[in-house]
Copies of this chain bind each other. A is one copy, B any other.
Amino acid sequence: MPRGLLIVVSGPSGVGKNTVLNQLLAKKQDLFYSISATTRAPRNNEVDGVNYYFITKEEFIAGIENNRFLEWAEVYGQYYGTPRDKVEEKLNAGYHVVLDIDIQGAAKIRQNSPEAVLIFLLPPSIEELKQRLVGRRTENAETLKKRLAYVHEELAAAVNYDYFVVNDRVESACAKIEAIIIAEQCRRNRFDFTAFKRNFLL
A residues near B, CB below 8 A? 119, 122, 125-126, 152, 155-156, 158-159, 161-165, 175-176, 178-184, 186-188, 191, 193, 196, 199-202
Contact = CB atoms under 8 A, between A and B. Distances in A.
Contacts of A119: 186
Contact of A176 (B182, B199, B200, B202): B182
* Majority secondary structure of chain A interface residues (helix, strand, loop or mixed): helix
Contact of A187 (B158, B163, B186): B163
Given A175-B182, A178-B179, A182-B179, A187 B200 contact: no
Nearest to A124: B199
27 contacts: A122-B196, A126-B199, A126-B200, A126-B201, A152-B200, A155-B200, A155-B202, A156-B202, A159-B188, A162-B187, A162-B188, A163-B183, A163-B187, A163-B188, A164-B186, A164-B188, A165-B186, A175-B182, A176-B182, A179-B180, A179-B182, A179-B183, A179-B186, A180-B182, A180-B183, A180-B186, A182-B183
